[in-house]
A and B are shown apart, each in its own frame.
Chain A
């Protein structure tokens, strides 16, 4: 756990006030709404939440992959190596994508080109970004396939994706992402489509790679078990907002936002008996019908009046550490003062 939220260390990636909106029926709706976070060197930050909470959109926005026809990305800045990615022209962005920042997608089946050999696909980024010769590229690509532990990598170098199992394809995807020694990897549900024993292998591979290199990772998942297995810090997202952010130990030991707490109580666990499972009532509101105020209020047991009127700010808890929560009830707010203020 390296410098969680320590301002003296220069973050590799600094996202400030990122908003991603989509045009639906002629109106713009924010799928990600003003989120900020900083990724430290060699840190794994998990973005957790249910479908539609904006976690994948955050990653696509960072890489400039949101479709421009009906999508819009705005930010104060997305700072990476002194550049602001949110204002970078496409050509400049292309030099960073797959080079300084790379992505691992959920579906290794659909993200690999079925008519090109696996080794060639790993080599492609090296040839493009690092202008490697064919021979050097092949050598490095083979090293990468060995690094991600593909058995008999040399003989499989020229095989096609359909000759690989799901787990092996995901390893190829990881090798591709690692090819140019990126500073940041964005992993979007990389183990969700895999069986548990294969998932465990991929998670331990990612943990090993992190220990051996200085890469940082944003790991997007809905699985709290996976978060606990590899994250240093966790940001919980709900309906486009970061509602809680803390170190992994703090988050699991002291889940503070009612949504985080409810999520943890909703997961049936394999390591202990669960007599009754908590259920969060209702469902995430659709993008076109987001309520005023805190977006979780309608499903929250603790909701009070102000929650339905005004979205709370994300504020650091006084207990120390870097544990922040977006909640009127659980956060550090003087509600009586708020009330008076509201009355004025």
Chain B
């Protein structure tokens, strides 16, 4: 495989939180506890998990919107973590982010055309006239009227605002886009419009994506490679079709089985889905998932499992796949949907 566009190694991000009343104590939340992955050019890479698993923190830390505590982030061979302000500014042109709620990320008092032109002017890439023209092209590219730039954010619907968020991310012709739950707040019909737009842009502009989502249906449609996160760690990683057909980690199986599918004949009892995601402040000992795991063994309560490469493409952090153990019972992975 060719040189990856982005390579993240052992990335860590801790937060200090003061908690408790009346005697608050400072505790450390290990929001990102050593995650590693690579994104190839033109690839859509999914970070999947439930709230609090660290997927959004990962997105922000990669762009250094949050400073990483440990680990390296290499973008096109250049170490982002060591880049100074000037290098960082150059890198920011090449990697952009789309947020879940585009309303709170647009200045309500600025005409959207002005807002979209701003990065072009800040980076000194164009004169005002040229920038205006580029903004018109961008608006058209994301399916809005060319003259929409004179309007204010509140004049747009949710779906249109997300189109603006995408236009904003595209302004500087980035190579990598981090999309943080870009369609979660949208209605089904609008969601499919935005997903279709993103896929079209990806193919036309050969964009790479880090796609952060909790919706497995969306991930299966949009992404080629995925990593499942649980309490700050990646617990399984591999090609999307393989993970859906044969998930390795018991948590991945649980996530898949819990995802509702629009088919009443596939109705399930959900009886294997137990417990809740524990607090990241005080994660369980050993494997973080062991209190909810139907296959828990003694070793799981004591030792966090290694991240084991099962084959050339897939890895999993689970003691079931350590030497001599056969992994999940076959019936389990196949007890699937469809």
A residues whose Cβ falls under 8 Å from a Cβ of B: 50-51, 165, 167-168, 195-201, 203-204, 222-229, 231, 248-249, 252, 262-264, 266-274, 277-281, 283
Contacts and interface: CB of A to CB of B under 8 A. Distances in A.
B254 A197 contact: yes
Given A201-B273, A222-B188, A268 B217 contact: yes
B190 to A, nearest CB: 7
Interface stretch (B28-36, B103-111, B172-180, B256-264): B256-264
A196 B244 contact: no
Interface in B46-101: 50-51
Residue among B188, B267, B269 with most chain A CB within 10 A: B188
Given A50-B187, A266-B191, A280-B192, A229 B50 contact: no
Given A200-B270, A203-B270, A204-B271, A50 B264 contact: no
Contacts of B254: 197
B193 interface: yes
Contact of A279 (B193, B258, B264): B193
Interface residues of B, number: 49
A196 B276 contact: no
A277 B189 contact: no
A273 B196 CA distance: 15
A225 B264 contact: no
Nearest to A166: B51
A228 B264 contact: yes
A251 B51 CA distance: 32
Contacts of B255: 196-197
Given A51-B187, A270-B337, A195 B264 contact: no
A206 B140 CA distance: 46
Interface string B196-221: 10000000000000000011111111
Interface of B: 50-51, 157, 159, 187-193, 195-196, 214-222, 241, 244, 254-271, 273-274, 276-277, 336-338
Given A199-B258, A268-B220, A249 B196 contact: no
B266 A228 contact: yes
Contacts of B189: 50, 262-263, 266, 279-280, 283
Contact of A277 (B190, B192, B241): B192
A277 B193 CA distance: 9
B277 A195 contact: yes
B192 A283 contact: no
Nearest to B272: A200
A270 B217 contact: yes
A225 B159 contact: no
A204 B273 CA distance: 10
B260 A225 contact: yes
A271 B263 CA distance: 10
Contact of B256 (A249, A270, A273, A283): A270
B221 to A, nearest CB: 4
B337 A197 contact: no
A338 to B, nearest CB: 28
B301 to A, nearest CB: 19
Given A198-B276, A228-B262, 7 more contacts: A223-B260, A228-B266, A229-B267, A266-B188, A267-B188, A270-B217, A279-B193
